[in-house]
Structure 1
Amino acid sequence: MNRTAVDSEGAWFERERIDELRRRLPITYVDVVPVRTDLDGSVTEVGLLLRASGDGEIVRAIVSGRVLIHETIREAIGRHIEKDLGPMAMPRIPVSPVPFTVAEYFPTPGVSPFHDARQHAISLAYVVPIDGETAPQEDALELSWFGIDELLGDSSPLEEMNGGRDLLVRRALAHVGVV
């Protein structure tokens, strides 16, 4: 029996309830920077989604989402990768995932480099190699794989990100030794 399917039953709240909780409590998230690697394990590309933001802007995004009650961090990473990149993505999630950083998103701009107008969120951030076929899912309009030179060059797609997620991708690249 799938433990996640059983234990996460009822883990979603009605819109009004989650909005109230977001005003009162920090919410735990995972942020995932999906990457492609070469045979030596060096990062060659980063996958960025294109989606509509809460304000109706079209922005670049990474895989991200809440951790459900009774869900391990590893399960949350896998669920969000499948939700955003598709069931054939074949992520290499470590058995015991350790984040490369923790991002604190605040509803008030300027408290940290990360901003989310809806809530105070604490996000564990991971770099996850993707080996399989990917395609944008659900609310994602597009999924594009960008080479490191494209990301770090002039008119980078990172400029199309909001809430400090461009900084998160730069930190991920530094973590894997690319920057």
Structure 2
Amino acid sequence: MSPLELDRDPAWLSREELDAARQRLPILYVDAVPVRVDDRGAVSAVGVLLRLGPDGRVSRELVSGRVLHHERVRDAILRHLEKDLGPMALPRVPVSPQPFTVAEYFPTPGVTPFHDPRQHAVSLAFVVPVAGDCSPQNDALDLTWLTPDQCLDPGVQAEMDRGHGVLLRQALAHLGHPV
């Protein structure tokens, strides 16, 4: 099934059913850290989105979204990268992607560094090289490419929402960058 067909799949949940499920079940998500790599495979830049939150606050976030019913994790990663970075991002997701960590988002702040006021979500987090032209899409206001050192700047980290700053530091540590 294509991603558009998944959105219309009657086996998936209506908005009301999803809201009810979010009150009772952990929901599976994927987080993606888009990166540019040089010829040696070293990360030269990390893509960070600028978004307007439901509370009207502007913050920085990573690519993130839920896995749909009957959707492979790899396909969910590709769908969310395209949704946020555009169809020409050209992500290089491995055939069998392996997450660098699992993040648990709780509706109660402080249980973990990750917070989502809507739900308890379990997210598989991936670093994904992108080779094409990227531009912010949908609800993303901007896309900024930062060096790994710039990602660790306290000012940038303070702008990261929902624990995405922690996730970004974990991704950089996974890649061997000193944090």
Instruction: Name the residue aligned to 1:167.
Output: 166
Instruction: Name the residue aligned to 1:63.
Output: 63
Instruction: Name the residue aligned to 1:36.
Output: 36
Looking at structure 1, the residues matched to 119 and 153 of structure 2 have their Cα atoms a distance apart, in angstroms, of: 32
What does residue range 1-179 of structure 1 map to in structure 2 within 5 Å?
A: 2=1, 4-6=3-5, 9-10=9-10, 13-155=13-155, 157-179=156-178
Cα 1:115–1:133 shift into 2, 3 Å: same
* 1:158 Cα offset (Å): 2.3
Looking at structure 2, the residues matched to 80 and 24 of structure 1 have their Cα atoms a distance apart, in angstroms, of: 24
Percent of paired sites with the same residue: 58
User: Does the aligned pair in 2 maintain the 1:43–1:178 contact within 8 Å?
Assistant: no
Q: Deviations over 1:91-125 (max 9, x none)?
A: 01011011000000011111111111110000000
Q: Deviations over 1:55-107 (max 9, x none)?
A: 22111011000001111000000000000000000001011011000000011
State the TM-score, normalizing by the size of structure 2: 0.93
In the comparison of the two structures, how many residue pairs are matched? 177
User: Does the aligned pair in 1 maintain the 2:151–2:168 contact within 8 Å?
Assistant: no
* 1:154 Cα offset (Å): 4.5
DSSP 3-state at the match of 2:173: helix
User: Does the aligned pair in 2 maintain the 1:11–1:68 contact within 8 Å?
Assistant: no
Letter in 2 for 1:164: G
Looking at structure 1, the residues matched to 122 and 153 of structure 2 have their Cα atoms a distance apart, in angstroms, of: 30
Looking at structure 2, the residues matched to 50 and 73 of structure 1 have their Cα atoms a distance apart, in angstroms, of: 24
DSSP 3-state at the match of 2:149: helix
* 1:53 Cα offset (Å): 1.4
Alignment RMSD: 1.5
Looking at structure 2, the residues matched to 111 and 102 of structure 1 have their Cα atoms a distance apart, in angstroms, of: 15
Letter in 1 for 2:141: L
* 1:17 Cα offset (Å): 2.1
State the TM-score, normalizing by the size of structure 1: 0.93
User: Does the aligned pair in 2 maintain the 1:4–1:70 contact within 8 Å?
Assistant: no
* 1:54 Cα offset (Å): 2.4
Unaligned runs of 5+ in 2: none
